[in-house]
Structure 1
Amino acid sequence: MAQGKTILILGGGIGGIVAASQLRRALSREHRVVLVEQAATHLFQPSLLWLMLGLRAPQQISRPYTALARRGIELLRGRVEHIDPARRVVTVDGKELTADYLVIALGAELAPDAVPGLAQAGHNLYSLAGAEAIRDARLTLTHGRIALLVSAMPFKCPAAPYEAAMLLEWDYRRRGLRDRVQIDLYSPEPGPMSVAGPEASAQVRAMVEQKGIGYHPQEKVASVDPGARRIHFESGVSADFDLLVYVPPHRAPESVRAAGLCGDSGWVKVDRATLATPFPGVYAIGDVTPSASRCPRPAYWRTGKPRWSRTTSPPKSPAPAR
C-alpha cells in the first residue's frame, strides 16, 4: 500500500483555508492536510469595510480555526520562522516539519512603517485595529477633510480604497454632514483599479467623482507629518487632512523573502496555470504571489448600486441611497 503524503499549507487566510478544504475533500484520509497559522481566529477582511461604518462587530466577521478540525484538517498554531523550499522543510516555533507538498499562502505583510510618519498619523484600512479606529474617528469628525491614501503599489484588493471612500461619503450623507466634510483619495495608480482595464478604471473614477470625492492619481507619498497633519508627495505636492485613512505598503513576509522564493518583483514567482514555484512540490497562492493586486471586481462597479446578499448586507441598516 502506498504511504500517505503530507500536504503542509502555510497561512490561514482565505487562500489557505480554501486550499485546505478543497484538498481535504479531494484526498483520501491516508493523506494528511495540515494548516499552519499563528492566529487563533480567522478574520474575514473584506468585512472590515462594514466594521468601519459600525455595521459589523468583530465577532461577526471572525471564526475560530478550531472549526477546521471537523473537516479533517489538522491545525498547527505557530509562527513560520524558516522555509527551506528545496527540502520542503518548515520551521514553526522552533520545530521542523517536513512536507511532501508545500503550499505557501502567507499573504502580504503590511508595512506602514516603510513610510515615515504614516503609522503615527492615520488609521490602517486593512487591519482590525485600524478599522475600529476609523469607526470611532468618523463619529467625532463632524467637519473638515478626510484623506484616503494608497501608499504604495501593489496592494491587495484594488477596489477597497475606492469602496471605502464611497462608503464614507454615504455615511456622512446619511448623517446629514456631507456638506461639512471634504473627501479626497490619493493614489500612485494611473487610475482606479487599472488592473481591470481602462474601461473599468474610467467607470470607477466617474463613480467616485460623481459623489464629490476628489481623486488624485499618480501621487506617491514620500512622508507624512503627524503633527501638522500633512501628507508630502514625491511630486512636491502636499495635502492637509483632519482624518487619514491609509492602505499601507505591502511586501512578502520575511520568512518567504529569506527563503529565496521571491523574484525580481519582490513576490513569489509561480506558473500562472499551476501556481507551482521553481521548487518541485512547492506552490504559492494568494497575495504572496505577483497577482497580489488582483481581486474580484465589486458587484456594483457597473451601476454604482451595491447588491446586498445574505453574506454582505448590513444587518438592520439601510442600503446606500440609489
Structure 2
Amino acid sequence: MVRRVAILGGGTGGTVLANDLTDRLAAEIDAGDVEVTLINDDPDHVYKPVWLYVPFGQREPADGRRPLRELVDSRIDLAIDRVTEIDTDEKKLALRDAPGSLTYDYLVVATGSTLAPAEVPGLVEGAHDYYSESGALAFREELLSMTEGHLVLSVVGTPHMCPAAPLEFVFMADDWFRERGLREDVEITYTYPINRVHGNANIAEWARPLMDERDIDVETFFNAESVDPEAGTIASMEGTELDYDLLVGIPPHRGVDVVDEAGLGDRGWVDVDKRTLEAEAADGVYAIGDAATTGVPKAGSVAHYQAGVVARRIASEVRDRPATATYDGKTLCFIETGMDSASFVEFDYENPPSPAPASEKLHWSKLAYNESYWLTARGLL
C-alpha cells in the first residue's frame, strides 16, 4: 500500500521538510511505497528576512526568491496550486486548479502567515510595511527620501512573523540616519501593545536600555485602533494619539482560511501539541512553523527545527515504528542592532533567551547566513 504525504506550503518549513523526508525515505520512495507531494501557490520559494534590508536600499526582493523546483528533490511531486478544502475525515484535499481530490495518509500544514492590515481602519492607506515584497518596495521610495520629520514604527498585531524585526528596524534606522548626519532632524518612535518593547521579557529587558541610549522614543500599552492618513495620526485603544510623517505598521497576521474551515484552529493557526506537533483536532495531521500554535516565535529557525522533528516522526510511522521525536522549542535568531552590528539569541521551552553582546562579527554572521540560506532550504544545512 502506498503511503502518501501531503505538505501544504513551500516556505522554509515545508521545503526543508519535503527534502528531509525524501532523504529519510529514499528507499521507500524509490520502491514506489511512499509519495511526497509539496503544494505551494507560488512557483518561487521566498526568503522573507531579505525584506528588512530593502527599504534601506541594501537588497532587492529578487535576492530572496528562487524557483521552488530548483530547491526540492526531484522525487518530490511539486504542485503549484492552492488548497481550497481540507477534509480531515476522508483525508482528502481539494485544489483550486486540479480536478478531483488529492488523498493523503499524512498531512503537514506549513502555510505560514498572511497579513491582515484591513483589520485596522486606515492602516492600509496610511502605513507602510516591510513584511511583504510590495510593502518593502513602496516603503523604500518613502524612506530613502526622508530627511526630517517623525518616523513611527507601530507593532499593531501580535503574534507576527520574525518578532525581532521591529526592534531591528528602529535600531537600523537610528544608525542609518546618524551615518548620514540626519538623526537630529528625525524623531523615531516605537510602539508596542503590552507593557514592554517585546513579547519576550528577556529580550525586552535587553532592548529597552539600547533604545533609551539612542533616543528612540517608546510607547508601550499602545494597541493601535485606527490610522488617519489625511491627518497623519495613529490612535490607540488606550486613548493615545501620535502624529507621524512616515508610519511603519507591523500589521495583524493570520493564517489561511482553509485551516479555520477544516476546524483545525482559529485565525488560520493550527492547534497542536507543542512537542509532537500533531494537530489536536484531526489524526494524521501535523503543523509546523508560523501555522502551528506552539507558543514559540513565528521564525524561520523554528520552522526549520520543527520540520526535522516531523520528518523523523512520519518516517517512523511509515515504517510502523513508534514515533518518538519531539520538538523542544529550540529557536535562534540574529538581531541587527545597527547597520553594522548585531546580537544573537538561542532558547527553547526550558531555557530563556540571553542576547549576546552586539558586535560587527555577529552582523556579518547574519549576512553570511542570509547568503547560505539556500543550502538550508535544500536540506544541506
> Is 1:234 aligned to 2:271, yes or no?
no
Contact 1:155 1:292 survives alignment (8 Å): no
User: Which residue is 2:278 aligned to?
Assistant: 276
> Is 1:128 aligned to 2:128, yes or no?
no
**Structure 1 Cα separation of the partners of residues 296 and 120 of structure 2:** 19
**Structure 2 Cα separation of the partners of residues 258 and 209 of structure 1:** 45
* Structure 2 counterparts to residues 113-124 of structure 1, below 5 A: 113-124=118-129
User: Which residue is 2:329 aligned to?
Assistant: none
**Structure 2 Cα separation of the partners of residues 93 and 240 of structure 1:** 44
User: Which residue is 1:47 aligned to?
Assistant: 50
Of residues 250, 253, 267, the one that matches 1:250 is 253
**Structure 2 Cα separation of the partners of residues 251 and 199 of structure 1:** 25
User: Which residue is 1:320 aligned to?
Assistant: none
User: Which residue is 2:18 aligned to?
Assistant: 20
User: Which residue is 2:196 aligned to?
Assistant: 191
User: Which residue is 1:298 aligned to?
Assistant: 334
Which string of whole-angstrom CA distances, capped at 9 and with x for unpartnered residues, describes residues 207-239 of structure 1? 222221111111101100011110011011100
Distance change (3 Å), C-alpha of 1:16 and 1:266: closer
Post-superposition, which runs of at least 4 consecutive aligned residues in structure 1 deviate over 6 A? none
* Structure 2 counterparts to residues 77-116 of structure 1, below 5 A: 77-94=80-97, 95=99, 96-116=101-121
Contact 2:192 2:198 survives alignment (8 Å): no
Provide the aligned length of Structure 1 versus Structure 2: 308
**Structure 2 Cα separation of the partners of residues 292 and 128 of structure 1:** 27
Partner of 1:60: helix, strand, or coil?
A: helix
> Is 1:311 aligned to 2:369, yes or no?
yes
Distance change (3 Å), C-alpha of 1:12 and 1:114: same
User: Which residue is 2:346 aligned to?
Assistant: none
**Structure 1 Cα separation of the partners of residues 259 and 102 of structure 2:** 16
Aligned-pair RMSD on alpha carbons?
1.8
Give me the TM-score of the superposition, normalised by structure 2.
0.77
- Please state how far the C-alpha of 1:109 moved relative to its aligned partner: 2.0
Give me the TM-score of the superposition, normalised by structure 1.
0.90
Contact 2:10 2:38 survives alignment (8 Å): yes
Structure 2, unmatched stretches of 5+, are 300-331, 336-342, 344-354, 372-381
**Structure 2 Cα separation of the partners of residues 292 and 58 of structure 1:** 29
Contact 2:6 2:106 survives alignment (8 Å): yes
**Structure 2 Cα separation of the partners of residues 58 and 145 of structure 1:** 26
Partner of 1:193: helix, strand, or coil?
A: coil
Percent of aligned pairs with the same amino acid: 35
- Please state how far the C-alpha of 1:199 moved relative to its aligned partner: 3.2
Structure 1, unmatched stretches of 5+, are 314-322
Which string of whole-angstrom CA distances, capped at 9 and with x for unpartnered residues, describes residues 99-155 of structure 1? 111000111221000000001001122101111122221121110011101112222
Q: Which has the higher mean CA deviation after the structures are superposed, 65-74 or 105-114?
A: 65-74
Of residues 158, 163, 171, the one that matches 2:168 is 163
> Is 1:150 aligned to 2:155, yes or no?
yes
Contact 2:279 2:285 survives alignment (8 Å): yes
- Please state how far the C-alpha of 1:71 moved relative to its aligned partner: 4.2
Contact 1:275 1:284 survives alignment (8 Å): yes
Distance change (3 Å), C-alpha of 1:70 and 1:17: closer
Contact 2:194 2:221 survives alignment (8 Å): yes
Higher relative contact order (CA 8 A, sep 6+): 1
User: Which residue is 1:225 aligned to?
Assistant: 228
